[in-house]
Amino acid sequence: MLRAVSSNSRREGSLDQRIIDLYDRFTHGQLDRREFMERLATLAGSVAAASALLPALMNDYARAAIVEDNDPRLEITMASYESGGATVKGYLVRARRVAAKRPGVIVIHENRGLNPHIKDVTRRMALAGYLAFGVDFLSVDGGTPENEDRGREMIAALDRPTTVMRAVDAVTFLAAHPDSTGAVGAVGFCWGGAMLNLLAEASPELKAGVAYYGMQPPLERVADIKAALLLHYAGLDNRINEGIPAYEDALKKAGTDYTIYVYEGANHAFNNDTSPTRFDPAAAELAWGRTLDFFAKHLGAPPPVET
């Protein structure tokens, strides 16, 4: 295992780690809102204090535009493909003024759906030279809602085999796109990281996959993975990290091309810059640079983008 030490340091006034861990359990369906608020009130000291803490815990999508959605360097469209008789939609972004074909990268969202943050990540990937496709896995059910609680409920209700097949068909769609070289990778965050691991087991077309703090897949199918893998984990993410040793052992036995980094001192969702308490700029920058280098190595270097 390769272990990276993040330059993250605890910020003065940062939240009690127990509160961050509690919020993580809530956002991943282990607590309902009532139980979450009751426990938060206990940790915060009162109901009023708990209510005051919520804005610091929730994502602030006003911060989600590192690359603006009207950036003149980009062409942004909604695209769709067919999977199992259903039409799946997504956010397709490519750089303008690039005559050459380019590798494709699927961006797989968290358990809230295709929200403004993931759209921004998709735009960032396009500016790195890739044909970037942020699939909305809730599009068949009406699309990602604005209400995050509702989005999490919809994600939890998805049929996993059907969703994995829709991810597999997204790879086929992007590989066949006229602007694509045919080489396709994928990157997923949180729920999307878990989906990335499942996609890697299911798609022989996938060339490279990057999972950010994603739950590990069924180990009995690890030998089916053909793609090279880059796996980013947060040092404080005990819920996910307990599965690393068994997954790494299975990857070694299967002879899979993989790299694991653990970012010490970082929380789950450290890449999400709309999360005031969990975003770790140093870990995010380091992981993003490694992600782009990894895709360039395994998908082929993308054409340069004019600035």
CATH of the domain at 115: 3.40.50.1820
One pLDDT digit (tens) per residue for the chain, 307 residues: 455 444 444 443 467 788 777 777 777 777 777 887 777 778 777 877 767 776 767 666 666 678 999 999 999 999 999 999 999 999 999 999 887 899 999 999 999 999 999 999 999 999 999 999 999 999 999 999 999 889 999 999 999 999 999 999 999 999 999 999 999 999 999 999 999 999 999 999 999 999 999 999 999 999 999 999 999 999 999 999 999 999 999 999 999 999 999 999 999 999 999 887 789 999 999 999 999 999 999 999 999 887 6
* Domain assignment present for 14: no
Amino acid at 70: N
The predicted model scores a pTM of 0.86
pLDDT for the residue numbered 74:
96
pLDDT for the residue numbered 294:
98
User: Using CA atoms, how far apart are residues 105 and 294, in angstroms rounded to an integer?
Assistant: 12
Element (H, E) at 181: strand 180-189
User: Using CA atoms, how far apart are residues 170 and 166, in angstroms rounded to an integer?
Assistant: 6
- Can you give the residue range of the structural domain that contains 236? 61-299
Domain count, the chain: 1
Tokens standing for 93? 């972004």
User: Using CA atoms, how far apart are residues 193 and 167, in angstroms rounded to an integer?
Assistant: 12
* Domain assignment present for 307: no
User: Using CA atoms, how far apart are residues 208 and 302, in angstroms rounded to an integer?
Assistant: 14
The candidate with the shortest Cα–Cα distance to 269, out of 57, 82, 18, is 57
The candidate with the shortest Cα–Cα distance to 234, out of 171, 190, 203, 289, is 190
pLDDT for the residue numbered 64:
60
pLDDT for the residue numbered 61:
65
SS3 106: strand
**Roughly how many angstroms between the first and final C-alpha of the chain, as a whole number?**
37
User: Using CA atoms, how far apart are residues 283 and 296, in angstroms rounded to an integer?
Assistant: 20
- 8 A C-beta contact, residue 63 and residue 141: no
* Domain assignment present for 200: yes
pLDDT for the residue numbered 27:
74
* Domain assignment present for 233: yes
pLDDT for the residue numbered 13:
44
Tokens standing for 55? 């804005």
* Domain assignment present for 184: yes
pLDDT for the residue numbered 10:
41
* Domain assignment present for 161: yes
